[in-house]
Amino acid sequence: MLNNNSKYKTKEELEAELEELRLQLEEANETIEAIRTGQIDALVVQGEKGHQLYTLKGADQTYRVFIEKMTEGAVTLNRKGLILYCNSQFATMVNLPLSKVIGLPFDTFITAENQVQYKDLFEKCWKHDCKGEVLLVAGKGQTPVQLSLTTLELEEGVSLSIILTDLTSQKATQKQLRQNNQQLEEINQALESSNNDLQQFASVASHDLQEPLRKIQIFSNLMKEKQDELSPESSKYLEKIIDSSGRMKVLILDILNYSRLSASKREVECTDLNELINELRDDFELIIQEKNAEIHIGELPCLDVNRGQMRQVFQNIISNALKFSVPGKSPIIRITSKIISDKCFNSKQDKNGLFCLISVQDNGIGFDEKYLNNIFALFERLNGKDKFEGTGIGMAIAKKIVDKHKGLITAASKVGQGAKFKIILPIMQSQP
């Protein structure tokens, strides 16, 4: 150790002393670093009474490492709010070397506008744990942090522990979320207004288009009564006007029907599909006789559906099956059903399932499956108007109704080999 007895020291002696002190400092620094990083739990110090063993309060190596390594900042304050200890994460947060942080009042690092809030927290926390969000002064910048304040019982008395969680990325996420929500709202508004436009259009179609159309129909019918005054050619043109205006009338009604589906409130009731399809069979009686068609109806369930709308679905499918028949061949339509477990077309049969799969199979002209999506799109027609009449809205209406019932619809077919329409519907409609 040091030789304090000699009054005079040579330059060499002084240099040696300096070297000794430097080594001591280095050793002390190493010890501090070792304590900080949890490499040691106790120190043996040579004192006046010989060697003494010092254990560290709460010398729990795990916790010290934990505090040092964790991504949150951690500080310990005394009653006056001075920083007794901090981890290196906190020093990084406030952009200062560790050594300069110790001993400073913690409120040095709180922005002016958050001082009142911090003082409030600092007062409350001695009674019970509390949390708050403040802006931390970090060099020239500011960092949003959450402070979690807890008191600690130490040997020297009660002190305060504060854990600081950096909220920068959380705030950024919140901001992003707010922006996304706002965007969504704008899109919703745009959608709503375009829906309104559509409704408006439907109402215009219902009156303003139908009035002149009716005039065309009525006056061409009147002219037809005076057919003997017309040349055969004019007579032919007149027939075409009457035909076209009739088609236009059907088209307008179909568009109206389709657009009204989105607006209408859906009222569902338990509906016996056997009854519903038998009714339809009666409606189609004329064409069934004319085409010598057969409709075989298997046992069908009762489902929670809007009766009127579901009637339209089967009306459109059956009418298609009758319409697209192979010339000279009697249409045969088979309607079957089974209860299934899942809402998918290859689901297992399950008598306790929540869904029903209904198939309508015909022996008509069929279609190429590459046009499957076109069938359910508005105004799509796979066949020429000359051979088969129709507006191209029927199956779009069917799909929309099935969609509104939270169901699925698809079709399978090969050209010349009939078509099979498959519908999945939930047995119960849970009301929103």
For binding to other proteins (CB under 8 A), which residues are involved?
A: 206-207, 210-211, 214-215, 217-218, 221-222, 225, 256
Q: Give the nearest distance from C-beta 287 to other proteins in angstroms.
A: 23
Q: Mark 38-54 as b/e (b = at least 16 C-beta within 10 Å).
A: beeeeeeeeeeeeeeee
Q: Give the nearest distance from C-beta 210 to other proteins in angstroms.
A: 5
CA-based nearest residue to 393, from 183, 209, 250: 250
Q: Give the nearest distance from C-beta 218 to other proteins in angstroms.
A: 5
Between 49 and 226, CB nearer to other proteins: 226
Between 183 and 227, CB nearer to other proteins: 227
Between 246 and 301, CB nearer to other proteins: 246
Between 17 and 269, CB nearer to other proteins: 269
Between 12 and 225, CB nearer to other proteins: 225
Q: Give the nearest distance from C-beta 362 to other proteins in angstroms.
A: 31
Q: Give the nearest distance from C-beta 215 to other proteins in angstroms.
A: 6
Between 213 and 378, CB nearer to other proteins: 213
Q: Give the nearest distance from C-beta 415 to other proteins in angstroms.
A: 39
Would strands 355-361 and 408-413 be described as parallel, antiparallel, or unpaired? Answer: unpaired
Tally of residues, the chain = 432
